[in-house]
Amino acid sequence: MDDNVILLVEDNPDDEALTLRALKKNNIGNHVVVARDGSEALDYMFGTGNYSGRDPNLLPQVILLDLKLPKIDGLEVLRQLRADHRTKLAPVVILTSSNEEQDRFKGYDLGANSYVRKPVDFNQFIDAVRQLGLYWLIFNERPPARRR
Amino acid sequence: MLVSGAALLLACGAFIGYDLFSFRQAVLNNLSIQAQIAGSNAVSALLFDDQNSAEKTLSALRVSPAIISAGILTPEGRPFAAYSRDKDDQIQILPRLAAGQTETHRFGDSEVLLVQSIVFQGKPIGIVYIRSGLDVLYARLRLYLGISAIVLAVSLLAALLISPIFQRQISRPIAQLAEIAQLVSRDKNYSVRAAESNSRDEVSVLVEAFNSMLSQIQERDQALRKAHDELEQRVQERTTELDNINKELEAFSYSVSHDLRAPLRAIDGFSQALLEDFGEKLDSMGQDHLHRVRLAAQRMSALIDDLLNLSRVTRSEIHRETLDLSAVVRATADELQRGAPSRNVNFVITDGLKVNGDSRLLRVAIENLLGNAWKYTSGHSCARIEFGLYQSNGRPAYFVRDDGAGFDPRYSQRLFGAFQRLHASSEFPGTGIGLATVQRIVRRHGGEIWAEGEVEKGATFYFTL
């Protein structure tokens, strides 16, 4: 079901593999769509390009957004998502290795819901993903679907 | 003009005065000689009491027109013979000759009276006197005055006529030089020059020298300005360079913080994956290898974090403000206790110690110092950590003291080196960057940090700000 999609925006194949593994380890069975750069992520969200035909109003359950992406970087993706009324409400969790103050500031300033730092220690990473999953997929109430 | 006129007057006056005086002496001498001649000619007349002969002798004085009258007297003072030029003679009151004195004279108005004693064979036998008029003298005086007046007038006139020429030649150029010098020193305008004249005299040499001096000053001034401008420009360039370097450093640390961590994550993650998925296929040595790989990756991550923090501390600006250091210490202590509530640690904190410094950096320093104290007392069941003020040579120093593992004072100079440790990581975890960071922070506040300690007897870290 499209409704329970997790959109993972990550360019690094290692990080992608580890994240998927962490999700599996936590028995999170949602369908994960992986976008490998900013433009692919936007294509998916707006139903353009390779994903033309997809309805932009169907928002994923959560978007895990890395910041350092080729072509269009994470903050720009966030800006465009927040600028479009169809995708404005999508929950975005910035998941990045950077802990620079300026990134955190810009992320929150552009309307990210959360900012999580990817730990190097894989066990910690698994734990972080578990907590993220617990929160965003179970506890958090999703925004209601738009009434046309 | 005044000075030269006065000088002339003085000179004339002195000259006239001297001349009159010497003329007077000459007149007196002349009279004296005449008296002597008359006297010696009258000796025989006196001896033979021949009044006629005496009068004839005296009348010879007619040749000298200045002589008004003359006379011969007996030693007792009785008139013996007389002569008068103008036939109107008054009886003269003669000045008396003192004993032993042969001659005397008296100056009256416009005449002089000379009295001489006539001596024959050592005995005074009579007195001769001559009255001479000073008209000649006065005539001479008037002549002289007239001449000097004319001379004075002529020379003053000449001076009046000549002075403008000299003014033009000398004093005006000099006055102009003085004016220009004043102008230059007041306005600092080195481009003015004195007007040069065509003559080849000393004044024009002076003017030329003055002008060339001004040219030199102007050159120097311009060179100085240029050098100053160049210096300013160079400073500007350096500042821009420094700014650029700082920005590059920022960008560098930024990419380090991001890009270096990703591969580390992969190393750690896939090692773990290997362990989990294929662990049973590996013997204990194989598993140990993988453990070490994981530990190394995690340690590298901690090192990167610490390095970044250290560079951030060195680069950031200091915003000084008054800060309650005791409050920061108390807050950090509370946080440490909250993190491990089971530990029994006694914090002794002196309250109310205020300092002037950057609150963010000082918080980092306190966190490091207290964190170290916390860490190195973890081996003891109960510990005491103290923070206070210590007077060292009049300068106040703050200290953090613990009674934990301490350190060997022989290695104290390695305490503050980056990544230098005096304990094994197995005993106490850490990268060894904490004290280096604190030292940087303390130094940036213009202070110093030092430590005392002994193995197993605790350590005390003192710092000034």
CATH no. for residue B439?
3.30.565.10
Rounded Cα–Cα distance for residues B262 and B267 (Å): 9
Task: List own/partner pairs for A13-20 with CB under 8 A and 24 or more apart.
Answer: A14/B262, A14/B263, A14/B265, A14/B266, A14/B269, A14/B270, A15/A66, A15/A118, A15/B262, A15/B265, A15/B266, A17/B269, A17/B270, A18/A122, A18/A125, A18/B265, A18/B266, A18/B269, A18/B270, A18/B273, A19/A64, A19/A95, A19/A129
Those of residues 28-47 in A touching chain B at CB distance below 8 A are none
Minimal C-alpha gap between B268 and chain A (Å): 6
pLDDT at B431: 75
Domains and their CATH numbers in chain A: 2-82+89-137 (3.40.50.2300)
Token pair in block for residue B362: 């000082």
pLDDT at A76: 93
Query: Residue B406 falls within a domain, yes or no?
Result: yes
Among the partner residues B259, B270, B298, nearest to A120 by beta-carbon distance: B298
Rounded Cα–Cα distance for residues B379 and B386 (Å): 17
User: Do residue A120 and residue B264 have CB atoms under 8 angstroms apart?
Assistant: yes
Minimal C-alpha gap between B270 and chain A (Å): 8
Query: Residue B171 falls within a domain, yes or no?
Result: no
- pLDDT below 70 — which residues of chain A? 1-3, 147-148
Query: Residue B129 falls within a domain, yes or no?
Result: yes
Domain hosting residue B43, numbered range: 2-141
User: Do residue A18 and residue B270 have CB atoms under 8 angstroms apart?
Assistant: yes
B298 and A120 Cβ atoms separated by less than 8 Å: yes
B45 and B54 Cβ atoms separated by less than 8 Å: yes
Q: Does B258 touch chain A (CB under 8 A)?
A: yes
Query: Residue B446 falls within a domain, yes or no?
Result: yes
Three-class secondary structure of residue A89 per DSSP: coil
User: Do residue B273 and residue A18 have CB atoms under 8 angstroms apart?
Assistant: yes
Residues of chain B positioned with their CB less than 8 A from the CB of A12 = 262, 266
- Residue B382's Cβ-count burial label (10 Å; 0-12, 13-18, 19+) is exposed
Q: Which residue has tokens 């773990």?
A: B272
DSSP symbols for B204-244: HHHHHHHHHHHHHHHHHHHHHHHHHHHHHHHHHHHHHHHHH
Sign of the dihedral defined by the CA atoms of residues A51, A53, A54, A55, in that order? positive
Token pair in block for residue B68: 């008004």
Q: Does B275 touch chain A (CB under 8 A)?
A: no
User: Do residue A14 and residue B294 have CB atoms under 8 angstroms apart?
Assistant: no
**Mean pLDDT in consecutive groups of 10 residues from the start of chain B, 465 residues:** 78 82 84 85 84 83 81 81 73 67 79 83 83 78 83 82 76 81 83 75 82 89 93 93 83 76 87 88 87 86 81 76 89 88 86 87 89 86 87 83 86 78 74 84 88 87 88
Q: Does B297 touch chain A (CB under 8 A)?
A: yes
Rounded Cα–Cα distance for residues A142 and A136 (Å): 8
Query: Residue B396 falls within a domain, yes or no?
Result: yes
Rounded Cα–Cα distance for residues B66 and B23 (Å): 14
User: Do residue A97 and residue B272 have CB atoms under 8 angstroms apart?
Assistant: no
B21 and B29 Cβ atoms separated by less than 8 Å: no
- Among A59, A66, A48, smallest CA distance to A91 is for A59
pLDDT at A1: 37
DSSP symbols for B250-271: HHHHHHHHHHTHHHHHHHHHHH
Q: Does B108 touch chain A (CB under 8 A)?
A: no
Q: Sheet holding B103-108: strands in order across?
A: B79-84, B67-73, B123-133, B111-120, B103-108
Residues of chain B positioned with their CB less than 8 A from the CB of A98 = 254, 257-258
CATH of the domain at B16: 3.30.450.20
How many helices and strands, by DSSP H and E, does chain B display? 10, 12
Q: Which residue has tokens 């420094």?
A: B242
Among the partner residues A21, A96, A118, nearest to B273 by beta-carbon distance: A21
Beta bridge partners of A33: A7
**Considering B112, B141, B170, which residue would you say is the last residue of a domain?**
B141
Count up the domains in chain B and report the number: 2
**Considering B90, B110, B141, which residue would you say is the last residue of a domain?**
B141
Rounded Cα–Cα distance for residues A104 and A97 (Å): 11
Query: Residue B241 falls within a domain, yes or no?
Result: no
How distant is the alpha carbon of residue A35 from its chain centre?
Answer: 9
pLDDT at B100: 66
pLDDT at B225: 92
**A-B contacts at Cβ under 8 angstroms:** 59
**Considering B121, B141, B161, which residue would you say is the last residue of a domain?**
B141
Beta bridge partners of A92: A63
Count the residues in chain B: 465
Residues of chain B positioned with their CB less than 8 A from the CB of A97 = 257-258, 261-262, 265
User: Do residue B254 and residue A100 have CB atoms under 8 angstroms apart?
Assistant: yes
Q: Sheet holding A32-35: strands in order across?
A: A32-35, A6-9, A62-65, A92-96, A114-117
The radius of gyration of chain A from alpha carbons, rounded to an integer in Å, stands at 14
Q: Under 8 Å CB-to-CB from B405, ≥6 apart: which residues?
A: B376, B377, B379, B423, B427, B428, B455, B456, B458, B459
pLDDT at B18: 86
User: Do residue B270 and residue A123 have CB atoms under 8 angstroms apart?
Assistant: no
- Kind and range of the H or E run holding B104: strand B103-108
Minimal C-alpha gap between B361 and chain A (Å): 16
Across B278-417, where does the E strand assignment appear?
320-324, 344-349, 354-358, 382-392, 395-402
How distant is the alpha carbon of residue A122 from its chain centre?
Answer: 19
Cα distances (Å, whole numbers) of residue B73 to A59, B42, B99: 169, 11, 16
B301 and B261 Cβ atoms separated by less than 8 Å: yes
Rounded Cα–Cα distance for residues A123 and B261 (Å): 15
Rounded Cα–Cα distance for residues B76 and B80 (Å): 10
pLDDT at A148: 54
Q: How many CA atoms lie within 13 A of A107 on its CB side?
A: 26
Query: In this structure, what DSSP letter does residue B182 have?
Result: H
Token pair in block for residue B421: 């440790």
Residues of chain B positioned with their CB less than 8 A from the CB of A118 = 261, 265
How distant is the alpha carbon of residue B169 from its chain centre?
Answer: 38
Rounded Cα–Cα distance for residues B46 and B178 (Å): 84
